[in-house]
Copies of this chain bind each other. A is one copy, B any other.
Amino acid sequence: MLEPEELSLNIPDTTKPRVVIIGGGFGGINLAKQLPNKDFQVVMFDRQNYHGFWPLLYQVASAGLEPDSIAEPLRKMFSSDKYPDFHFRLVKVTGINPEARTVHTVIGDVAYDYLVIATGTKPNYFGNDQIKKFAFPLKQIPEALNLRSQILQCFEQASMTKDPERRQELMNFVIVGGGPTGVELAGALAEMRAHVLPTDYPGLDFSQMNIILVEGMDRLLPPMSPEASEKTYKYLHELGVDIRLGTLVSSYDGVLAMLKNGEQIRTNTLIWAAGVSGALIDGLPETSVERGRILVNEYNQVLGYDNMFAIGDIAFMKLPDFPKGHPGVAQPAIQQGKLLGKNLPRLLRKEPLEPFKYKDKGSLAIIGRNRAVADLPGNLHFGGFLAWVVWLFVHVMALVGFRNKLVVLSNWAYRFFTYENGTRLIIRPFVRRGDRIGRKFIDKYQAD
């Protein structure tokens, strides 16, 4: 492997205008799919070589799916037979210079004619470094695999201790954040407790396993309708999830979680699904950033620039209907990416641009087997089996790539008919952020 000094971006020279896209998420790929390579050279930077279907990431953490079911390699998606002037680079962007029209990376700079920032979000620990150090985030595939290993190793260890207090710490799982990720993970853990874990770990009493979901607002799934929140609460309650509303986790030292309401919970596993902030980039003018996101006009142009755009979660398009911006889900990113794919050619031809109009396709969340909630356009709210079928259909159809659909569908069909999670493999050495106890465990117990 080479040192940074030995590398260069190697972007081919071109006479076409160059579009640089930072980020291969929902916004970035939907834009790149639209852009005609005969008119533009397209350069995409990402720190992963794949596009992830993040709404299903919790299933990787809960041993339901393997990474390839929810991720598609970007180079495969934009292979040169279909996108002859598309250039992917697996590299970290360190900043931009809008005046010089340049993007900086760790191995050199590249000039752009059009720049699209589609960097999405990162976990937000609200300045609490202790929680950042000890909590398990759930934003990336390696994090989901780490969490899966952690959950399974907790039960392995719980099988091997006679100390009831230690065992209880291993069997308590605290999920911070009652948004879709927190709710869906809580439901998946409850299903595992009901159907899979007792026969896997016959030495353990699973009435001692506690799943505690903590949400700061007074209802679950705050972005959804009150009806959906109520049904979600009811379903999770039926599944035996302990729900704490209107309170926060104020500290966590790796064992003891302190809640704002005074409650103390001892747990080896605290999962952080509480908040995100925009993955900002160095070199943006301060005036274009508000609430950690980039202010854009209705064409997704960054305020003050006609050739710099932000799309998806990182963009803050303040409209009368959306004073706080669009919801942080896939649809605005997809729709903005597609629209920008049409607007860039118009900009090139000096034609009028089409303003963005968000088409709300509704919201869905799955709580467990046969249980989901749906808010559909036209004030339609429902739950239960029908919502579950809708959820399944929407997610399988939305998955990128033919193969993923097949794999995901056969996984789900199998789990539906057998109550089985198939992928309970502890594969990656467990590495806990901040301490090395997990690493030590591997070294002492399992290494050669």
Contact B426 A49 (CB under 8 A): yes
Q: Which residue of B lies closest to A169 (CB)?
A: B2
Q: Which residue of B lies closest to A49 (CB)?
A: B426
**Would you give the shortest CB distance from A108 to chain B, in whole angstroms?**
9
Q: Which residue of B lies closest to A446 (CB)?
A: B47
**Would you give the shortest CB distance from A427 to chain B, in whole angstroms?**
6
Known: A2-B166, A199-B81. A73 touches B424 (CB 8 A): yes
Contacts of A79 in B (CB 8 A): 199-200
Q: Mark A5-22, 1 if CB is under 8 A from B, else 0.
A: 011111010000000000
Contacts of A160 in B (CB 8 A): 7-10, 89, 91, 107
Known: A8-B161, A161-B2. A156 touches B90 (CB 8 A): yes
Q: Mark A73-91, 1 if CB is under 8 A from B, else 0.
A: 1011001110010010111
Flag whether A265 is at the interface (Cβ < 8 A).
no
Flag whether A217 is at the interface (Cβ < 8 A).
no
Contact B9 A420 (CB under 8 A): no
Flag whether A142 is at the interface (Cβ < 8 A).
yes
Contact A50 B166 (CB under 8 A): no
Contact B7 A161 (CB under 8 A): yes
Quick one: copies of this chain in the complex?
A: 2
Of B66, B76, B157, the contact of A68 (CB 8 Å cutoff): B66
Of B68, B441, B445, the contact of A425 (CB 8 Å cutoff): B68
Contact B425 A75 (CB under 8 A): no
Query: Which of A90, A152, A203 has the most chain B CB atoms closer than 10 A to its own CB?
Result: A90
> Which range holds the interface residue count of chain A?
35 or more
Contact B7 A50 (CB under 8 A): no
Contacts of A393 in B (CB 8 A): none
Of B8, B106, B201, the contact of A162 (CB 8 Å cutoff): B8
**Would you give the shortest CB distance from A222 to chain B, in whole angstroms?**
27
Cα distance, A425 to B437, chains bound together (Å): 28
Of B48, B403, B427, the contact of A420 (CB 8 Å cutoff): B403
Contact B71 A425 (CB under 8 A): yes
What 19 additional pairs, Cβ within 8 angstroms, besides A7-B161, A407-B407?
A: A1-B157, A1-B441, A7-B160, A9-B160, A10-B161, A49-B156, A66-B67, A66-B69, A79-B199, A81-B199, A90-B426, A91-B445, A92-B446, A106-B444, A145-B427, A402-B414, A403-B422, A406-B410, A406-B414
Between-chain CB contacts (< 8 Å), 23 pairs: A1-B438, A1-B441, A2-B157, A2-B161, A10-B160, A10-B203, A48-B446, A68-B422, A68-B425, A71-B425, A75-B200, A75-B201, A76-B424, A87-B202, A89-B156, A90-B426, A90-B446, A91-B446, A107-B445, A122-B448, A141-B425, A142-B427, A403-B420
